[in-house]
Amino acid sequence: MNAQVESSINLVEWKTLLLDSLKKLSLLRMFANPVMFVVWIGTLLCGAITLYNFMHALPFGMPLVTTLILFFTVWFANLAESVAEAKSRGQASSLRSAKQALRARRIDGEFEHWVEAAQLVKGDQVRVVQGDYIPADGDIVKGVATVNESAVTGESAAVLREAGTDHSSVIGGTKLLSGEIIFEVSNDPGQSFLDRMIGLVEGAERQKTPNETALTVLLSSLTAVFLLIVMTLPAMAEFMGSELSYVMLIALLVCLIPTTIGGLLPAIGIAGMNRALKANIVAKSGKAVEVAGDIDTLLLDKTGTITFGDRQATEFLTVNGVSEHELMEAATLSSLDDPTPEGKSILSLALGKDFRVADKPKGAEFLPFSPKTRVSGVRLADKSLKLKGASDAMKAWAADKNLAWPEEMDALVRKVAKQGGTPLVVGSNERMLGVVALMDVVKPGVAERFARLRALGVRTVMVTGDNPITAGVIAAQAGVDDFIAEAKPEDKLELIRREQAKGRLVAMVGDGTNDAPALAQADVGLAMNSGTQAAKEAGNMVDLDSDPSKLLSVVEVGKQLLITRGALTTFSLANDVAKYFVIIPAIFMGAIPAIGMLDIMQLNSPETAVIAALVFNALIIPTLIPLALKGIKVSVVSADTLLRNNMLIYGVGGLVLPFIAIKALDMLIGTIY
pLDDT, tens digit, 9 for 90 and up, residues 539-580: 888 887 777 667 778 888 888 888 888 899 999 888 888 787
Query: Residue 235: enclosing H or E segment and its boundaries?
Result: helix 210-239
Pairing of strands 422-428, 385-390: antiparallel
- pLDDT surpassing 70 at residue 328: yes
At 555, give phi and psi (nearest 5°): -60, -40
Long-range contact pairs involving 470-473 (C-beta distance under 8 Å, separation at least 24): 470/416, 470/417, 470/420, 470/421, 470/422, 470/423, 471/302, 473/417, 473/418, 473/419, 473/420
Active site residues: 301
pLDDT, tens digit, 9 for 90 and up, residues 120-135: 899 999 999 988 888 8
Average pLDDT of the chain is 82
User: Which pLDDT score is estimated for 595?
Assistant: 66
Higher pLDDT: 370 or 6? It is: 370
Compute the CA torsion angle 500, 502, 507, 512 (nearest 10 deg): -50
Long-range contact pairs involving 639-644 (C-beta distance under 8 Å, separation at least 24): 639/457, 642/563
Q: Is the dihedral of CA 499, 505, 511, 516 positive or negative?
A: positive
Q: From the CB of residue 98, how many other CB atoms can be counted at a distance below 10 Å?
A: 20
- pLDDT surpassing 70 at residue 5: no
Alpha-carbon distance 657 to 577, whole Å?
A: 11
310 is in an annotated binding site: no
547 is in an annotated binding site: no
User: Which pLDDT score is estimated for 426?
Assistant: 94
Identity of the residue numbered 507: A
User: Which pLDDT score is estimated for 388?
Assistant: 93
Higher pLDDT: 564 or 582? It is: 564
pLDDT, tens digit, 9 for 90 and up, residues 51-77: 999 998 888 888 999 999 999 999 988
**pLDDT tier for residue 399 given thresholds of 50, 70 and 90:** very high
- pLDDT surpassing 80 at residue 586: no
User: Which pLDDT score is estimated for 6?
Assistant: 38
What mean pLDDT comes out for the span 155-172?
77
**pLDDT tier for residue 170 given thresholds of 50, 70 and 90:** confident
Burial 169-192 (b: 16+ CB within 10 A, else e): bbbbbbbbeebebbbbbbbeeeeb
Higher pLDDT: 413 or 165? It is: 413
Contact 279, 550 (CB under 8 A): yes
Identity of the residue numbered 655: L
511 is in an annotated binding site: yes
What mean pLDDT comes out for the span 668-673?
80
What mean pLDDT comes out for the span 376-394?
89
Alpha-carbon distance 254 to 247, whole Å?
A: 11
Higher pLDDT: 276 or 262? It is: 262
Higher pLDDT: 188 or 635? It is: 188
Three-state DSSP class for residue 484: strand
Q: Which of 201-205, 212-216, 649-653 has the highest mean pLDDT?
A: 649-653
Query: Residue 148: enclosing H or E segment and its boundaries?
Result: strand 138-148
Q: How many CA atoms lie within 13 A of 671 on its CB side?
A: 5
- pLDDT surpassing 70 at residue 157: no
